[in-house]
A and B are shown apart, each in its own frame.
Chain A
Amino acid sequence: MLDAAIIGAVLASVVAAATTLLLASLGELVAERAGTLNLGVEGMMIVGAAVGYATAYGSGSLLLGTVAAVLAGMALSLVFAGLAIWLATNQVASGLATTILGLGLAGLIGAGFVGTQLDGAPQLHIAGLTELPVVGKALFGQDAFVYVSFLLLAAVAYTLARTRIGLVLRAVGENHAAAHALGHPVRGIRTLAVMFGGACAGLAGAHLSLAYTPFWASDMTAGRGWIALALVVFSAWRPLWLLAGAYLFGAVSILQLHVQGFGLGIPSQFLSALPYLATIIALVVISALKHGRGAPASLGVPFVPDR
């Protein structure tokens, strides 16, 4: 039956799956708190995955690959920022265009790497803790991405709640006209927030192609960018709820694999669809509970200063 080792292994894979979602959604949360809805997460993530993989494969350095992925995500986010923030185009259309562009670029970059494989990011063991039963491997036997995701979460939560730059960022997302009247650089702050979102999406992509599944396959993000977007709504734009959401969705996506393994009489297609179904149900429940009131008031509205 299920022994501690199996449960430990399942938990460890839940953490790995959740980390991709957490990283990507954390960046999007920051962008949305500043008032920009960037639907390009999926595109930025897969470009990060492709560039990260190509760099790591070529150089043999996972660290270099990760840095390249972050920069690639950021570069693509600047395309979105240029359109949606500086040219005040429709954010939904610009975000979709960014995703489509990203998917195309990633296919191009990754074309020569199909079927190759890398040694994934090493697990960092912490003496004494990793040997703990059941949760030891899940919590303290992970790769660096997992720890970075927790540090980033803490940093974002603290910055938004306690620092001046966090206050200004929230103000810009809440009422951009007022923030402008008070002399805060609305478009500059939004650009930085979107760049942070791009960097996080790139990092999430690197986690995917360098650690979680260290090989290249086209479309390997498989809709995780969209789930990350839904998670931001699910969390009502609060970082700690984001953590809960990411692990819930991570768990659903892993457990459905194991349920398939048990050979229950449920069609596998249905089980594969579970994470997406869970996304829809969570969104419906949340809007029914009027949980979504936390949405930044200027979210998705282009800002054009008076001239």
Chain B
Amino acid sequence: MEDVPERPRALLEAVKLTKKFGSLVANDQVSLAIRAGETHALLGENGAGKSTLVKMMCGLLQADSGELLYEGTPIVFHDPASSRAKGVGVVFQHFALFDAMTVVENVALGLPGHQPLPVLAARIDDCVRRYGLGVEPYRRVGELSVGERQRVEIVRCLLGDPRVLILDEPTSVLTPDESENLFRTVDLLTDEGRAVLFISHKLDEVRRLCHRATVLRGGRFIAEVDPQQETFGSLARLMVGADVPRTPRVTAHALGAPRLLALHLNVAGDGSRGSTLRDINFEVHAGEILGIAGVAGNGQTALFDVLSGETEVTDHESIVIDGEMAGGLSPTQRRALGAGFVPEERLGHAAAPDMRLSDNVLLTTHGDGHIVKAGIIRRATLFGRFQEIVKGFDVRFGGKDPKARRLSGGNMQKFVIGREVLRNPVLIVVDQPTWGVDAAAAAFIRTTLREHAAQGCAVLVISQDLDELLEFADRIAVMSEGRLTTPVPVAGTSREAIGLAMGGAHHAGGEGSHAA
């Protein structure tokens, strides 16, 4: 990219925006300028303040101090409607869509004034053709895949003819192939002279797509750089503030007996997306990490629930834990066999938000025999275990024993992982171990799981972060529409093959690759 002095002037500019939530300073004098014809990256870790900045730039939040400039003149957006009127469109990370309604109704809700739906449907078709977006106007949004839903959001924005388009973590839910399509659309948009703000923490995408990049860390502006001039490492250092530790790969360790078997595991589901499992087969051996990749909503949650015992299966023999048939057992009975489970949702599923941390320890350890005796909770033993988790897993919080909801995401995740690991399970099933967790905590969690596997535990990791699985899993399988590919060794496969399987093609690494 040539960086000539006469860059186009800023369309939308944030000048020293500050936003506080109580004592937390989410944005501290952050500045950012988006220019016509440019794709501008907003880089930062989870919790760096990216979302807060975006919400202030589109009127969802009001800044405590600082100002917004629109084409050089100060402007105040009181709500998203007023920013949209000025041509600022936002595609949120959590889609603002209505599942029970059709695509065209969803689009109508995002546009001012009334338009007859057939007229609008024709406009949607036009837009879809022009930008290669693949959306049918009269389908119900609830039936669409995540990628399609994102395209509905984009179409809705584009029909408002925005001059500035803000994409909040757009690729976090897409397959590599879908991401590539999105990049092509973004290139078309900037060619037309629109400005795009692309929010991400994925460095390769930013280097591929963006002309400029603003880096945030801990709510502060760190740097504005040209991503083409930066290296992977230099961008990562700006983002994290230190070198990112990599998980040591423990290469040579003996595999033991299979600790978890899924044999023709089927779940009929309730008809909603991702609730059906079709003939799932895999085994996880002592000493290995099996990774399950896939785009959200393809049955991962159903798989977790059926392994943990939250969903019943009809066939008692389809799940075997440490040699015992477990299909008909309750979660407590499965834990008694030596299994540990860490669900995706930290608050509300793994932990009760309004209970103290020490009481949360009890939720999965009550059946282990020494903390509860004859129905009486032994507080001293419980508190001892609580201290062990906090010290051993570096869980940080204010106060002595706060409610679970007061912890940050990373600390809460370390806590729920530590709670399971210290039970010394022979099998751990973890769904999204590092989702929404900062890089340092994520590295710590991966290392912990890695070490635990090396000590003879079988670990099953479900994750949407392909890079994570390629970094620390031994074998990998892909979930797509309720089916699971045959697991293959990570060393023998490629991103491309896995990407294809995520899009629905089966077998991640070719035929006949049963590793054991």
Task: Spell out A's residues near B (CB within 8 Å).
Answer: 163-164, 167-168, 170-171, 174-175, 177-179, 181-184, 297, 306-307
Q: Are A183 and B98 in contact (CB under 8 A)?
A: no
Of all chain A residues, the one with the shortest Cβ separation from B82 is A183
From A168, A171, A174, A181, give the contact of B80 (CB < 8 A): A181
The smallest beta-carbon distance between B165 and chain A, in angstroms, is 15
Q: Are A170 and B101 in contact (CB under 8 A)?
A: yes
Chain A residues contacting B95 (CB-CB under 8 Å) are 178
Rounded to whole angstroms, the CA-CA distance of A248 and B79 in the bound complex is 46
Rounded to whole angstroms, the CA-CA distance of A163 and B96 in the bound complex is 21
8 Å CB contacts to A: which residues of B87-112?
Answer: 90, 92, 94-101, 105, 108-110
Q: Number of B interface residues at 8 Å Cβ cutoff, please give it.
A: 25
Rounded to whole angstroms, the CA-CA distance of A119 and B113 in the bound complex is 48
**Contacts A164-B114, A167-B105; is A297 near B60 (CB within 8 Å)?**
no
The smallest beta-carbon distance between A4 and chain B, in angstroms, is 46
Q: Are A168 and B109 in contact (CB under 8 A)?
A: yes
Rounded to whole angstroms, the CA-CA distance of A182 and B82 in the bound complex is 10
Rounded to whole angstroms, the CA-CA distance of A29 and B80 in the bound complex is 29
Q: Knowing that A183-B79, A183-B82 are A-B contacts, what are 14 other residue pairs whose CB atoms are under 8 Å apart, sorted by A's residue number? A: A164-B113, A167-B101, A170-B98, A171-B98, A175-B97, A175-B99, A177-B96, A178-B95, A181-B92, A181-B96, A182-B81, A183-B80, A184-B109, A306-B55
Q: How many pairs of A and B residues are in contact by the CB < 8 Å rule? A: 55
Most buried by B among A163, A164, A307: A164
Rounded to whole angstroms, the CA-CA distance of A181 and B84 in the bound complex is 11
**Contacts A183-B80, A184-B109; is A171 near B101 (CB within 8 Å)?**
yes
Rounded to whole angstroms, the CA-CA distance of A168 and B108 in the bound complex is 9
Chain A residues contacting B59 (CB-CB under 8 Å) are 183
**Contacts A167-B109, A181-B80; is A174 near B60 (CB within 8 Å)?**
no
Q: Is B61 an interface residue (CB 8 A)?
A: yes
Chain A residues contacting B110 (CB-CB under 8 Å) are 182
Chain B residues contacting A171 (CB-CB under 8 Å) are 98, 101, 109
Q: Are A178 and B96 in contact (CB under 8 A)?
A: yes
Rounded to whole angstroms, the CA-CA distance of A173 and B79 in the bound complex is 20
Q: Are A306 and B61 in contact (CB under 8 A)?
A: yes
From A164, A167, A182, A297, give the contact of B96 (CB < 8 A): A182
Chain B residues contacting A178 (CB-CB under 8 Å) are 95-98
Rounded to whole angstroms, the CA-CA distance of A182 and B96 in the bound complex is 7
8 Å CB contacts to A: which residues of B399-426?
Answer: none
Task: Spell out B's residues near A (CB within 8 Å).
Answer: 55, 59-61, 79-82, 84, 90, 92, 94-101, 105, 108-110, 113-114
Of all chain A residues, the one with the shortest Cβ separation from B21 is A307
Interface of B is mostly: loop
**Contacts A182-B109, A183-B80, A184-B109; is A175 near B98 (CB within 8 Å)?**
yes
In the complex, 30 of the A-B residue pairs with CB atoms within 8 angstroms, ordered by the A residue number, are A164-B108, A164-B113, A167-B101, A167-B105, A167-B108, A167-B109, A168-B109, A170-B98, A170-B100, A171-B109, A174-B98, A174-B99, A175-B98, A175-B99, A178-B96, A178-B97, A178-B98, A179-B109, A181-B80, A181-B90, A181-B92, A182-B80, A182-B81, A182-B110, A183-B80, A183-B82, A297-B99, A297-B100, A306-B55, A306-B61
The smallest beta-carbon distance between A289 and chain B, in angstroms, is 14
Of all chain B residues, the one with the shortest Cβ separation from A298 is B98
The smallest beta-carbon distance between B269 and chain A, in angstroms, is 14
Of all chain A residues, the one with the shortest Cβ separation from B55 is A306
Rounded to whole angstroms, the CA-CA distance of A167 and B98 in the bound complex is 11
Closest CB pairs A-B (n = 7): A183-B81, A178-B96, A183-B80, A181-B96, A164-B114, A174-B98, A171-B109
Most buried by B among A163, A178, A307: A178
The smallest beta-carbon distance between A48 and chain B, in angstroms, is 32
Rounded to whole angstroms, the CA-CA distance of A35 and B98 in the bound complex is 13
Chain A residues contacting B92 (CB-CB under 8 Å) are 181
Chain A residues contacting B100 (CB-CB under 8 Å) are 170, 174, 297
The smallest beta-carbon distance between B88 and chain A, in angstroms, is 12
Chain B residues contacting A306 (CB-CB under 8 Å) are 55, 60-61
Rounded to whole angstroms, the CA-CA distance of A167 and B94 in the bound complex is 21
Rounded to whole angstroms, the CA-CA distance of A167 and B101 in the bound complex is 9
Of all chain B residues, the one with the shortest Cβ separation from A295 is B100
Of all chain A residues, the one with the shortest Cβ separation from B85 is A183
Chain B residues contacting A182 (CB-CB under 8 Å) are 80-81, 96, 109-110
The smallest beta-carbon distance between B230 and chain A, in angstroms, is 33
Of all chain B residues, the one with the shortest Cβ separation from A175 is B98
Of all chain B residues, the one with the shortest Cβ separation from A179 is B109
Rounded to whole angstroms, the CA-CA distance of A179 and B79 in the bound complex is 12
Of all chain A residues, the one with the shortest Cβ separation from B115 is A164
Q: Are B108 and A175 in contact (CB under 8 A)?
A: no
Rounded to whole angstroms, the CA-CA distance of A171 and B141 in the bound complex is 13
Q: Are B97 and A181 in contact (CB under 8 A)?
A: no
Rounded to whole angstroms, the CA-CA distance of A127 and B131 in the bound complex is 62
Rounded to whole angstroms, the CA-CA distance of A164 and B107 in the bound complex is 12
Q: Are A181 and B60 in contact (CB under 8 A)?
A: yes
Most buried by A among B95, B97, B98: B98
Most buried by B among A167, A170, A177, A184: A167
Chain B residues contacting A174 (CB-CB under 8 Å) are 98-101
Chain B residues contacting A168 (CB-CB under 8 Å) are 109
Chain A residues contacting B90 (CB-CB under 8 Å) are 181
The smallest beta-carbon distance between B79 and chain A, in angstroms, is 5
Chain A residues contacting B94 (CB-CB under 8 Å) are 177
Most buried by B among A164, A179, A181: A181
Rounded to whole angstroms, the CA-CA distance of A168 and B80 in the bound complex is 15
Rounded to whole angstroms, the CA-CA distance of A158 and B95 in the bound complex is 29
Chain B residues contacting A175 (CB-CB under 8 Å) are 96-99
The smallest beta-carbon distance between B166 and chain A, in angstroms, is 12
The smallest beta-carbon distance between A226 and chain B, in angstroms, is 27
Chain B residues contacting A177 (CB-CB under 8 Å) are 94, 96
Rounded to whole angstroms, the CA-CA distance of A235 and B89 in the bound complex is 38
Q: Are B97 and A183 in contact (CB under 8 A)?
A: no
Rounded to whole angstroms, the CA-CA distance of A306 and B80 in the bound complex is 13
The smallest beta-carbon distance between A70 and chain B, in angstroms, is 28
The smallest beta-carbon distance between B197 and chain A, in angstroms, is 16
Rounded to whole angstroms, the CA-CA distance of A179 and B106 in the bound complex is 10
Chain A residues contacting B109 (CB-CB under 8 Å) are 167-168, 171, 179, 182, 184
Rounded to whole angstroms, the CA-CA distance of A307 and B64 in the bound complex is 11
**Contacts A164-B114, A175-B96; is A183 near B84 (CB within 8 Å)?**
yes
The smallest beta-carbon distance between A175 and chain B, in angstroms, is 5
Of all chain B residues, the one with the shortest Cβ separation from A170 is B101
Rounded to whole angstroms, the CA-CA distance of A307 and B79 in the bound complex is 12
Rounded to whole angstroms, the CA-CA distance of A306 and B99 in the bound complex is 22
Chain A residues contacting B96 (CB-CB under 8 Å) are 175, 177-179, 181-182
